[in-house]
Structure 1
Amino acid sequence: MAQYEWQRIARVLEEEIRSGHVPPGGALSSITRLAETYGVADRTIRRALRDLRERGLIETLPHKGSYVVDVLPPADVPEKDEGTD
């Protein structure tokens, strides 16, 4: 299944967070810097960050930036197919 660019970036950022590369309480790079790093528009980064916020991985403080939450939620577990045990 095809992925949007924001989904790919959100996945990469999540991997960096879960691996400890960006520790709890740590700041993510600015939107401008992330856009330059990934070669995408600011709005693509904003959408990726919104996804991470909605999943409880980061919080964004106005005029301060985005930070990894202190306690990470569990990683998504693939759903089990119905009818199989």
Structure 2
Amino acid sequence: MAEYEWQRIAREIEQEIAAGRIPRGGALPGIVRMAEQYGVADRTVRRALQDLRERGLIETLPHKGSFVVGLPEA
């Protein structure tokens, strides 16, 4: 099954969280920076972050950014 770009990005961020490279309470890079890093539009990054929020892995605070609040379920 093909994977959308936002799904790939969400999976990669989830792997970073699971490996402890982005610890609980750690901030994710900004949307523009992640869009440049992954070579996608900011809209694609926003969709990936939405998925991570819906799964309880991150929380986004207005004018502050996105932070890790949970770990992926084993």
For residue 60 of structure 2, what is the aligned residue in structure 1?
60
Separation in 2, partners of 1:73, 1:65: 20
For residue 8 of structure 1, what is the aligned residue in structure 2?
8
Structure with the largest fraction of helix: 2
Same amino acid, percent of matched pairs:
74
RMSD of equivalent CA atoms: 0.9
Amino acid at match of 1:20: G
For residue 21 of structure 2, what is the aligned residue in structure 1?
21
Separation in 2, partners of 1:74, 1:59: 16
Amino acid at match of 1:5: E
Deviation at 1:74, TM superposition (A): 1.5
SS in 1 for 2:26: coil
- The unaligned stretches of length 5 or more in structure 2 are none
SS in 2 for 1:66: strand
Q: Greater Rg, structure 1 or structure 2?
A: 1
Runs of 4+ in 1 over 2 A off after TM superposition: none
Structure with bigger RCO (C-alpha 8 Å, 6+ apart) = 2
Give the TM-score normalised by the residue count of structure 1: 0.84
- Aligned residues between the structures: 74
With over 3 angstroms needed to count, the CA separation of the structure-2 counterparts of 1:23 and 1:50, relative to structure 1, is same
For residue 47 of structure 2, what is the aligned residue in structure 1?
47
For residue 74 of structure 1, what is the aligned residue in structure 2?
73
